[in-house]
Structure 1
């Protein structure tokens, strides 16, 4: 049902925004390539994280509408808009006493993975550099993982050079932890689908 789909998109976007706004962005930890560009925009031009994140994701989405399709593009636009609004809300209204940047990295990465996984389950991209990597992969006939790795890697190194080299390590760890959670959510989806198929009445 369409309302159920968009409820999950909104929920996933809010969860993603919570992870970014409360745990990752306060330490300038990029959640991905788009997050790295957002951190740089904030550092260079003092653009608020929420607005910078929306600008980066929306610009990528405008380029990739042809590749995503209208319905998926609409869901992605809703997702990145809700994520940006959530980042702004949580940055201004939620305060968690500082404990340790590595602890926040761990918790934020897990929560981020839940949000991203929820969006991907609904066939919606979370935006960002993943869209650009998909375009390159289709035009070059290669797997998207390689361009995604190199683009994100370049952005992480640039962010680390400008702000702090520790960010590279934290960004890689964030990517690894969050993608593991995404995989778990996807496996859960596949398992539930298989169970549902088994319960369907068979034709005799």
Structure 2
């Protein structure tokens, strides 16, 4: 009996290790996109990103702190609708993302001189990071929590929901800062949510080399 309990405990530990390893990877990729390519150009990465840009614009609040405050305020929804496991994972993910944004924003600069190239590259990384988080049942924070709730209860791909909710927030951000932002933000959302929609459902072979490296399988 004890041996069976040990095996069950070991299995739970392995699953948690795999999940949170991927959460860290997704959060770092997302933070890289925001801190290096998007936020320095005042391009909202999403609904939470829009509010983050506004807080930075109005109060000169550090991007990492503003992002964490906006995202963590949505956790009440995650606790109620998604359960404590998803909420804890979301809190962990947004904390790692905020730390990553701060590190990348301070120590790295974009190698490109064009805001449009930054937009394209940042959108690809952003969509990849968000998709990794959503596949683990963890929201990328902000309105991503709402998208995950809708995906759970209405069986709607979260990538499409993210696009429409974020669009409204982009209009508000563009009205306050610069209308050019809305064009850049919509392009960013279209690219990133398209990647999210694809990677969220794509089948990843369990025996693949990348999968083994990320999940620490031997």
| C-alpha separation in 2, matches of 1:129 and 1:34 | 7
* Cα pair distance change 1:8/1:147, threshold 3 Å: closer
Following TM superposition, by how much is the alpha carbon of 1:164 offset from its aligned partner in structure 2, in angstroms?
A: 1.1
The answer as to 2:158 corresponding to 1:127 is no
* Cα pair distance change 1:158/1:13, threshold 3 Å: same
What is the TM-score of this pair, normalised by structure 2?
Answer: 0.79
Which residues of 2 match residues 68-107 of structure 1 at below 5 A?
Answer: 68-107=82-121
* Cα pair distance change 1:11/1:137, threshold 3 Å: closer
> Could you list the runs of 5+ residues in structure 1 that have no partner in the other structure?
194-204
Alignment partner, residue 166 of structure 1: 180
Give the alignment partner of residue 7 of structure 1, picking from 21, 40, 52: 21
Alignment partner, residue 122 of structure 2: 108
Alignment partner, residue 205 of structure 2: 192
| C-alpha separation in 1, matches of 2:78 and 2:62 | 25
Alignment partner, residue 44 of structure 2: 30
SS in 2 for 1:30: coil
* Cα pair distance change 1:76/1:134, threshold 3 Å: closer
Following TM superposition, by how much is the alpha carbon of 1:3 offset from its aligned partner in structure 2, in angstroms?
A: 0.7
The answer as to 2:41 corresponding to 1:41 is no
| C-alpha separation in 1, matches of 2:161 and 2:197 | 20
What is the TM-score of this pair, normalised by structure 1?
Answer: 0.84
> Could you list the runs of 5+ residues in structure 2 that have no partner in the other structure?
1-14, 207-218
| C-alpha separation in 2, matches of 1:117 and 1:133 | 12
SS in 2 for 1:192: coil
SS in 1 for 2:73: helix
Count of equivalent residues: 192
Give the superposed CA RMSD.
2.6
